[in-house]
């Protein structure tokens, strides 16, 4: 698999590895996939990059590759803007080979494969009819999280037909942000709110996903009253990152 822009995969791996330390990577004829819960099972990541995103994509048969994503991310973070990325599974040595090709330069790493326990119950997809759907610039939601982190460990989100409220509070501090559908930070045509919804989510889990997204890009956000929030990051025309986070509810903090 050859990707022209090594930095693109570096950015993706930084997001995924902050959520899942190790995982199986499904390499199929249509592209590569990672679908996994985090260790606490409060969140789930769903990554797909289609084969058309690659300059070269040769897969003889569907293969599952178990890797330490933290180790892979450490390597990919060394990617330079003028380097391409080549990833190969060496059947003879049972290693995953990562190569950076620059001008008159080649850097190569080999990672041992690891056995990933079968989680068994990861759904192929999560179907939720969301009452609230909107799309905002990453730079906006990143600032919201930074503001909220100065106050609390949780972010409150409330949707109304006139806009979205974000808030956080503690015994001594409080923070509020409101955005209208016609804001320049919002994709107005994508704003859909049916009734009012309110929920609370862990800032740590939201920040792990959103901090790696380029500030100029947009993030699609959907949620319901006290149900999981869904964040979608479209990776140009190459694939997507979908992230679910369970709400803060006293009875349960796991995705059902």
Domains and CATH numbers, the chain: 2-112 (3.10.150.10), 132-245 (3.70.10.10)
pTM of whole model > 0.95? no
CB 85 within 8 A of CB 53: no
Question: Quick one: DSSP state of residue 115?
Answer: P
Instruction: Read off the pLDDT band of 121 (50, 70, 90).
Output: low
Please tell me the predicted confidence (pLDDT) of residue 123: 65
List, in order, residues 6 or more apart from 250 with CB less than 8 Å away. none
* Strand order across the 105-112 sheet: 2-3, 84-90, 95-102, 105-112
Residue 240 corresponds to which tokens in the numbers above? 């997507």
Instruction: Read off the pLDDT band of 6 (50, 70, 90).
Output: very high
Between CA 203 and CA 62 the distance in angstroms is 36
Q: What percent of the chain has pLDDT over 90?
A: 83
Burial 4-41 (b: 16+ CB within 10 A, else e): ebbbbbbbbbbbbbbbbebbbbebeeebbbbbbbbeee
Angle of CA points 27, 32, 33, to nearest 5°: 105
**Residue 253: pLDDT over 50:** no
**Residue 255: pLDDT over 50:** no
């Amino acid at each position: 698999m050859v990707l022209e822009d090594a930095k693109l995969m570096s950015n993706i791996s930084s997001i995924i590895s902050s959520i899942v330390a190790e995982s199986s990577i499904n390499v199929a004829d249509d592209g590569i996939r990672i679908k996994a819960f985090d260790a606490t099972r409060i969140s789930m990541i769903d990554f797909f990059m289609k084969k058309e995103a690659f300059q070269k994509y040769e897969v003889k048969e569907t293969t599952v590759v178990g890797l330490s994503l933290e180790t892979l991310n450490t390597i990919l973070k060394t990617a330079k803007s003028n380097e391409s990325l080549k990833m190969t599974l060496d059947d003879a040595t049972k290693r995953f080979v990562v190569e950076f090709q620059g001008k008159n330069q080649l850097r190569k790493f080999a990672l041992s494969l690891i056995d990933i326990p079968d989680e068994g119950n990861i759904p192929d997809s999560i179907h939720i009819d969301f009452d609230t759907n909107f799309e905002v610039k990453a730079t906006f939601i990143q600032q919201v999280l930074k503001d909220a982190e100065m106050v609390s460990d949780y972010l409150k989100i409330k949707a109304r037909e006139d806009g979205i409220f974000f808030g956080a509070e503690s015994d001594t501090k409080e923070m509020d942000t409101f955005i209208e559908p016609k804001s320049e930070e919002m994709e107005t045509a994508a704003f859909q709110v049916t009734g009012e919804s309110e929920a609370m989510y862990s800032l740590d889990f939201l920040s792990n996903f959103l901090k790696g997204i380029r500030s100029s890009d947009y993030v699609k956000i959907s949620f319901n009253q006290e149900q999981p929030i869904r964040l979608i990051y479209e990776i140009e025309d190459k694939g997507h990152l979908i992230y679910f986070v369970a709400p803060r509810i006293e009875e349960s903090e796991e995705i059902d």
